[in-house]
Structure 1
Amino acid sequence: MSSPLSGRRGQAARNDEAILDAARRVFLRDPAAPVSAVAREADVGMSAIYRRFAGKEQLLQRICADGLRQFIAVADEALALDDPWEAFTRFLGGVVDADVHSLTVRLAGTFDPDDELARLSQEAERKQVALLGAAQDAGVVRPDVELNDLAMLLEQLSAVRLAGPDRTRDLRRRYLALHLDALRPAAATAPLPGDAPTGAELGARWQRRG
Structure 2
Amino acid sequence: MSTVTAVDRLLDDGSGHRPRADARRNVERLVVAAREAAAEGGEITAHEIARRAGVGVGTFYRRVGSLEVLLQAVLGEVLDEIVAAADQGLADPDPWTGFCRFAGSYIRLRNELCDINEALGGIIDHERTVLRDRIRLLAERAQAADAMRTDVTWQDVAFLLVSTSTGDHTLGLRAGALQWERNLQIVLDGLRTDHPSTLPGDPPRLPTT
1:89-117 Cα distance to aligned partner (Å, 9 max, x none): 12112324xx1121355455442455xx5
Q: TM-score scaled to structure 1, two decimals? A: 0.72
Give the equivalent residue in structure 2 for 1:186.
194
The structure-2 alpha-carbon separation of the partners of 1:65 and 1:195, relative to structure 1 and needing over 3 Å to count, comes to farther
Provide the alpha-carbon RMSD of the alignment.
2.9
Distance in 2 of aligned mates of 1:63 and 1:198: 29
Tell me, yes or no, if the aligned pair for 1:39 and 1:46 is still in contact at 8 Å: yes
Distance in 1 of aligned mates of 2:97 and 2:89: 8
Q: Which amino acid counterpart does residue 55 of structure 2 have in structure 1?
A: V
Give the equivalent residue in structure 2 for 1:132.
139
Q: Which amino acid counterpart does residue 100 of structure 1 have in structure 2?
A: L
RCO (CA 8 Å, sep 6+): is it higher in 1 or 2? 1
Distance in 1 of aligned mates of 2:126 and 2:63: 22
Identity %: 30
Distance in 1 of aligned mates of 2:29 and 2:80: 18
Distance in 1 of aligned mates of 2:204 and 2:69: 29
1:145 matches 2:152: yes
**Pairing 1:76-155 to 2, within 5 Å after superposition:** 76-96=87-107, 99-114=108-123, 117-155=124-162
Q: Which amino acid counterpart does residue 155 of structure 2 have in structure 1?
A: N
Tell me, yes or no, if the aligned pair for 2:26 and 2:63 is still in contact at 8 Å: no
Deviation of the 1:183 alpha carbon: 0.5
1:17 aligned to which of 16, 20, 28: 28
Specify which structure has the higher proportion of helix.
1
Q: TM-score scaled to structure 2, two decimals? A: 0.72
Tell me, yes or no, if the aligned pair for 1:105 and 1:155 is still in contact at 8 Å: no
Runs of 4 or more, structure 1, over 4 Å off, are none
Tell me, yes or no, if the aligned pair for 1:24 and 1:63 is still in contact at 8 Å: yes
Tell me, yes or no, if the aligned pair for 2:33 and 2:52 is still in contact at 8 Å: yes
Give the equivalent residue in structure 2 for 1:39.
50
Gaps in structure 1 of 5+ consecutive residues: 202-210
Local SS of the residue matching 1:19:
helix
The structure-2 alpha-carbon separation of the partners of 1:45 and 1:126, relative to structure 1 and needing over 3 Å to count, comes to same
Deviation of the 1:135 alpha carbon: 1.0
1:158 matches 2:165: yes
The structure-2 alpha-carbon separation of the partners of 1:200 and 1:79, relative to structure 1 and needing over 3 Å to count, comes to same
Give the equivalent residue in structure 1 for 2:41.
29
1:27-83 Cα distance to aligned partner (Å, 9 max, x none): 44345x431111111111223322343422333333322221111121121111112
